[in-house]
Amino acid sequence: MSLLGTTLGPSGWGAYRVDGTGFERLPDDPELPLLSPGFVDVHIHGAFGVDFVTASRSEYGSALDALAAVGYESLLPTTVTAPVVDVDRFRAELPDHPMIAGFYLEGPFLSPKHPGAQPKDAIVDPPDWPSDWDATLDDPRLRLVTLAPERPGADRLVRRLSARGVRASMGHTDATFEEAAMSGVVHATHTFNAMRPFHHREAGSVGYVLTDDAVDAELIYDRVHVSRDSARLLVKAKPAERIVAVSDATKAAGLSPGTRMTMWGLDVVVDPSSVRLLDGTLAGSSITLLDAFRNLREDFGAELAIRATSVNPRRALGLTAIPRRWTRWHGDEFEVVSLSGG
């Protein structure tokens, strides 16, 4: 099976025929549909009522099927700050599935000054070696780790991760610009959120992310975690290939607004684009990358939307195969199709 449409291919933006062997450039045709390659979500805690931290294999299956139906091809199930025994249980239940490209450890090596909705009592310093965290940190499926680079021992942990090819991400951090610049991180967790803000006398973590062209910047573009104006600043400051859209979705994604539930031991309520603690604190999003793609396309154009939701995260994870799942757009209507016909 092959697909015809306008997309971002090896020769840039334009019309292509895409099949399992690659891309064939075609003459531009405004009548062709827009094709967006399968979404790659490097930061997702759950969806459709399933929390990946506590999910069984069968629950994973139902959530992955639902995500595939909205255009997902790959993802990193993401932890929250938790004791090592809970993370060990999460790793034991993580299925071997073609959509799962590894896992993302968000915490517990964070700043208590910027916990967001992360359980504050489980935050710890980066470990010495050896430690109870060794099995997790040496797990070959580990792809990303969020840490606060100003914490004692963070520099040692960044070196350890980098030596194994694991991406160290700065997040939930009170790092100054200088501390961030000296840290060796290559990624920023949900940029603008839960990090030391920009100030004209001390540019902070946010200032570092905006000005270092080698750092990938996650963007939760539900227009709640990050406003249009702040996203515009990020888009102007960063190279287009360094913006990585993430859902940061929780099990609330796909559930009806107003739904109340317990998540990570906290009482939360779902609103149209996010999930919040009862005091109003953001506790993650309730969008998928399909929603993020729509928002990015509307505000910044289809090319950036494709880069941020697929091309850039593929590059970050080293995924080189031709995307097998695509979303074909006719205006605002879409259908998810597969090169294999499945």
| 250, two tokens | 């929780």
What is the share, in percent, of the chain residues with pLDDT greater than 70?
Answer: 99
Please, which pLDDT band fits residue 341 given cuts at 50, 70 and 90?
A: very low
- Asked if 56 contacts 46 with a C-beta cutoff of 8 angstroms, the reply is no
| 276, two tokens | 């919040």
Beta-bridge partners for 7: 14
Question: Does some domain include residue 8?
Answer: no
Rounded to an integer, the average pLDDT of 5-9 is 97
pLDDT in tens, 96-143: 999 999 999 999 999 999 988 788 899 999 998 889 999 999 999 999
Strands (E), 226-281: 243-245, 260-263, 266-270, 274-277
Rounded (5°) CA angle 80-83-88? 85
Residue 277, pLDDT score: 86
Residue 108, pLDDT score: 96
Question: Does some domain include residue 78?
Answer: yes
Does residue 318 register a pLDDT over 60?
yes
Question: Does some domain include residue 167?
Answer: yes
Residue 117, pLDDT score: 77
Rounded to an integer, the average pLDDT of 37-51 is 96
pLDDT in tens, 290-304: 999 999 999 999 999
pTM here?
0.95
Structure-token match 């969806």, residue found: 47
Mean pLDDT of the chain: 95
Buried b vs exposed e over 324-339: b needs ≥16 C-beta within 10 Å? bbbbbbeeeebebbeb
* Length in residues, the chain: 342
Residue 238, pLDDT score: 98
Please, which pLDDT band fits residue 92 given cuts at 50, 70 and 90?
A: very high
The total domain count for the chain is 1
The parent domain of residue 207 ranges over 38-321
Question: Does some domain include residue 107?
Answer: yes
Distances (CA, A) of 305 to 8, 140, 265, 313: 10, 30, 34, 12
Q: What residues have CB less than 8 Å from 236, skipping those under 6 apart?
A: none
Rounded to an integer, the average pLDDT of 152-178 is 97
Question: Does some domain include residue 338?
Answer: no
**Catalytic positions, please?**
248
Q: How far apart are CA 244 and CA 39, in angstroms?
A: 11
Is the C-alpha dihedral spanning 208, 114, 184, 145 positive or negative? negative
Please, which pLDDT band fits residue 265 given cuts at 50, 70 and 90?
A: confident
Residue 276, pLDDT score: 87
Does residue 264 register a pLDDT over 80?
no
- The CATH number covering residue 56 comes to 3.20.20.140
Please, which pLDDT band fits residue 70 given cuts at 50, 70 and 90?
A: very high
Structure-token match 């580990």, residue found: 142
pLDDT in tens, 151-162: 999 999 999 999
- Asked if 40 contacts 342 with a C-beta cutoff of 8 angstroms, the reply is no
Please, which pLDDT band fits residue 342 given cuts at 50, 70 and 90?
A: very low
**Strands 142-147, 167-170: pairing kind:** parallel
Question: Does some domain include residue 149?
Answer: yes
Residue 13, pLDDT score: 98
Q: Quick one: 3 exposed, middle or buried, by C-beta within 10 A (0-12, 13-18, 19+)?
A: middle
pLDDT in tens, 178-228: 999 999 999 999 999 999 999 999 999 999 999 999 999 999 999 999 999
Does residue 275 register a pLDDT over 70?
yes
For residue 189, the 8-state DSSP code is S
| 160, two tokens | 């350890």
pLDDT in tens, 322-334: 999 999 999 999 9
Residue 155, pLDDT score: 96
Question: Does some domain include residue 6?
Answer: no
- Asked if 212 contacts 182 with a C-beta cutoff of 8 angstroms, the reply is no
Question: Does some domain include residue 1?
Answer: no
